[in-house]
Structure 1
Amino acid sequence: MRYIFLVIWSVILVSVLNYVVSAINQGTPDWNQGLIMSLVFAVLLIIIDAVIPSESPKAIGREDH
């Protein structure tokens, strides 16, 4: 469920960024490119989430004997 919300929020935020940057540059927003970039952004966040350990650094270094 969190991955679905991640994709939804990345599409929303990258679309808003796409619109604002194109408005500043006085151009037209390319919605297809924005969608592709948001999906790439979501996949990178999923990979980062898988690589970073979920335990705190104190719990990783502690050895319970």
Structure 2
Amino acid sequence: MQYIMTFVWSFLLVAMLNYVAGSIVEAPFDFMTGVIVSIVMAVVVLIITAIIPDEAPADV
């Protein structure tokens, strides 16, 4: 479920960014570019979460 929700949020945020940035520079909206970038973004987020340790640091 974690992987699905990561992709869903990545897709929504990248699609919104793609639409707004495209509107600002008057570029046409390309749906497939948003899908590809959101897949890459989701993979990067999942890699980062796998690298960061879950436990809290020990008190010094």
Identity %: 43
Runs of 4+ in 1 over 4 A off after TM superposition: none
Gaps of 5+ in 2: none
Give the structure 2 partner of residue 34 of structure 1. Answer: 34
- State the one-letter code of the partner of 1:52: I
**Partner Cα distance (1:36, 1:13) in 2:** 13
Quote the RMSD (CA, aligned, Å): 1.4
Kindly tell me the number of residue pairs found equivalent between the two proteins: 60
Give the structure 2 partner of residue 13 of structure 1. Answer: 13
Of structures 1 and 2, the larger Rg is shown by 1
Structure with bigger RCO (C-alpha 8 Å, 6+ apart): 2
**1:43 Cα deviation (Å)?**
0.2
Gaps of 5+ in 1: none
Q: TM-score, normalised by structure 2?
A: 0.91
**Partner Cα distance (1:39, 1:56) in 2:** 30
Q: TM-score, normalised by structure 1?
A: 0.85
**1:57 Cα deviation (Å)?**
1.4
